[in-house]
Amino acid sequence: MANERKLGLFSAIIMGLSGAIGFEIFVLLNYAYFDLAGPSMISALFFCGIINLITMLSYSELSAAIPEVGGEYTYTKVAFGGIISFMAGCLRWLASVFGGALAAIVFVNQLGVLFSVFDLPIQLVLVNASLLIVGLVVILIFLSVRGVNEATTLIVGAFLAIFVIFLAMSLGYTLAPQNIVPEASGNSIVVFFAATAYLFPMFVGMRALVAGAPQIKNPGKNVPRALMITTVLLTVVYFAVAFVAVGVVPVTTPITAESPPLLNLAAKEIMGPIGAILFALAGMFASVSSVGTAMSVQSSILGGMSRDGYLPNVLLKAHKRFGTRYVAIIASSLFVIFFGTSGAVVFLGYAASFGSLLVFALVNLSLIQLRRKMPRLDRPFKAPLYPLTPLAGIVMSVLLLTFPVILRDVNAESALLSSLGMVAIVLVTYYLRMVKREVDFNRLRVAVGGISFGAGVTLIVLTPVIAPPSLSIIMVLVGLVSIVAGILNILVSTRKID
């Protein structure tokens, strides 16, 4: 069935904004400001906007040339097919799971803030946080299976209105945040880039616009324009809100586990108790909406990959009455519950960011591959300064992945290692599902050998960063054994396949 194109430029911009403006601003600013970069977090946000803009140029070209459902998964499938598209789909799904789990945690946090405004016992929320998260996700599973759509346009409108009121009321204050540009020392630069990586999920939601490209009129013109306008608008709004928040809440403010997030503190300072209530409610609505959207995105990705034969068909199973893919929704939700109840906010922030950055790198690679593979493809929009633009996108993504690890941020290290572990599972799953029976065993050995080799290299590279000196030699030896084992498995099995 062909999709009806009925949305214009304005609707496309709203689609991008509603995808991006959400719960992230309530949670990510905190760690970036109080623990990482201090006031230079504002510049980090600006830098996020620039990096996002560069990759959005690639998205614009690809979405205009291939205006079909599936977004990143489709682009990588057309460009590379096979394992790369499978990996892009899985990483996108993972980023969505981590984002959904983070949103569930934010919901509980904001509920706690609301309790504190009304002097209700906040401990009641903190003690039952896991139970509340499970309850929220179960309710949303029910709503997602029933196919209830969230009023995202209303939410984005309400959000923008609240931000405008917040900014307008801040005009009465003398705001002069100091040190918003990072110092030119090595550590400051590393911390600045780590904050940029951590804040990155605040922007990536605007990919919703790409996913909705099949509904947009004249996509060749409207999608690129909407992507550019949305990026600029987002950068300006985030920059202004963060500037005000940093201006009224000093970085030296004592913060405990029960303290409200930076934005709530700033809202209370500028708008009084009304501001605290408004922002807490906005945070709750945004997180509920984000968990719902994440579930819908996850079921759509899993469904698409099942349709292409990468995952079991059971994930395509639709509800008899509501027609929604309830097995995929429930399967994804279990992961959201698992990570959400862990309460590891900083880890989840990094993990969501890393998943998205890897997908961004794959999208930029797809652009380069398609320019070489299909030079005559009709491209209503072309990324300017090719190949510098996609190359810059790839380099930036990889750099942002590495800086938090250089900083020895334990959350970033765990997030990166978990992402690599997930990539390993992806590889095995792919080979188990896709190889022909007669060479199954040897191909599986090649895959396991590849994982072993990769794990060994990763272990050796990360040893100076993560291991105490007393364990360094053991770690390097373990890494070397893994590398040799990987090479042997690959060599022997490849010979047998040939």
Partner 1 sequence: MKIRRILPAIIGIAQGVIGVLFGVLAIMLVLNLIEVQTVFNVPPELLSLYLLILGLFSVFSVISGLFLMREGWK
Question: In angstroms, what is the minimal distance from the CB of 421 to partner 1?
Answer: 4
Residue tagged 């750099």 (tokens): 399
Size of the chain in residues? 498
Which residue's CB is nearer to partner 1, number 374 or number 428? Answer: 428
442-454 CB burial, b ≥16 within 10 A, e <16: bbbbbbbbbbbbb
Which residue's CB is nearer to partner 1, number 336 or number 344? Answer: 344
Contacts of 282 (CB under 8 A, 6+ apart): 158, 159, 162
Question: In angstroms, what is the minimal distance from the CB of 493 to partner 1?
Answer: 8
Applying CB under 8 A, what is the total number of residues that bind partner 1? 27
Question: In angstroms, what is the minimal distance from the CB of 257 to partner 1?
Answer: 11
- How far the first Cα of the chain sits from its last, in Å, is 43
Which residue's CB is nearer to partner 1, number 278 or number 451? Answer: 451
Which region, judged by CB under 8 A, interacts with partner 1, from 100-108, 265-273, 320-328, 483-491?
483-491
Between CA 376 and CA 370 the distance in angstroms is 10
User: According to the binding rule CB under 8 A, does residue 353 interact with partner 1?
Assistant: no
User: Taken in order 147, 148, 151, 155, is the CA torsion positive or negative?
Assistant: negative
Cis bond leading into 387, ω under 30°? yes
Which residue's CB is nearer to partner 1, number 396 or number 451? Answer: 451
The closest of 479, 107, 461 to 291, measured between CA atoms, is: 107
Question: In angstroms, what is the minimal distance from the CB of 495 to partner 1?
Answer: 11
Question: In angstroms, what is the minimal distance from the CB of 224 to partner 1?
Answer: 39
Per the CB < 8 A criterion, the answer to whether 453 and 486 are in contact is yes
Which residue's CB is nearer to partner 1, number 227 or number 412? Answer: 412
Which region, judged by CB under 8 A, interacts with partner 1, from 17-25, 260-268, 308-316, 478-486?
478-486
Which region, judged by CB under 8 A, interacts with partner 1, from 36-44, 48-56, 62-70, 480-488?
480-488
User: According to the binding rule CB under 8 A, does residue 463 interact with partner 1?
Assistant: no
User: According to the binding rule CB under 8 A, does residue 461 interact with partner 1?
Assistant: no
Which residue's CB is nearer to partner 1, number 324 or number 333? Answer: 333
Which residue's CB is nearer to partner 1, number 211 or number 459? Answer: 459
From 139, 154, 484, 497, residue interacting with partner 1 (rule: CB under 8 A): 484
Site for partner 1 in 61-100 (CB under 8 A): none
Question: In angstroms, what is the minimal distance from the CB of 82 to partner 1?
Answer: 21
User: According to the binding rule CB under 8 A, does residue 268 interact with partner 1?
Assistant: no
- DSSP track, 30-75: HHIIIIIIGGGHHHHHHHHHHHHHHHHHHHHHHHHHS--TTTHHHH
Per the CB < 8 A criterion, the answer to whether 402 and 193 are in contact is no
Which residue's CB is nearer to partner 1, number 166 or number 339? Answer: 339
Which region, judged by CB under 8 A, interacts with partner 1, from 22-30, 172-180, 341-349, 354-362?
341-349
Question: In angstroms, what is the minimal distance from the CB of 488 to partner 1?
Answer: 5
The SS3 assignment for 7 reads strand
Contacts of 231 (CB under 8 A, 6+ apart): 49, 52, 53, 56, 203, 206
Alpha helices (H) in 118-218, listed in sequence order: 122-127, 129-146, 152-169, 186-199, 201-204, 208-211
Site for partner 1 in 403-442 (CB under 8 A): 410-411, 414, 417-418, 421, 424-425
Which region, judged by CB under 8 A, interacts with partner 1, from 197-205, 212-220, 337-345, 386-394?
337-345
Which residue's CB is nearer to partner 1, number 197 or number 244? Answer: 197
From 11, 30, 397, 489, residue interacting with partner 1 (rule: CB under 8 A): 489
Which pair of tokens denotes residue 277? 């209530």
User: Taken in order 471, 476, 481, 482, is the CA torsion positive or negative?
Assistant: positive
Between CA 139 and CA 292 the distance in angstroms is 10
Q: Which residues bind partner 1 (CB under 8 A)?
A: 342-344, 347, 410-411, 414, 417-418, 421, 424-425, 445, 448-449, 451-452, 455, 478, 481-482, 484-486, 488-489, 492
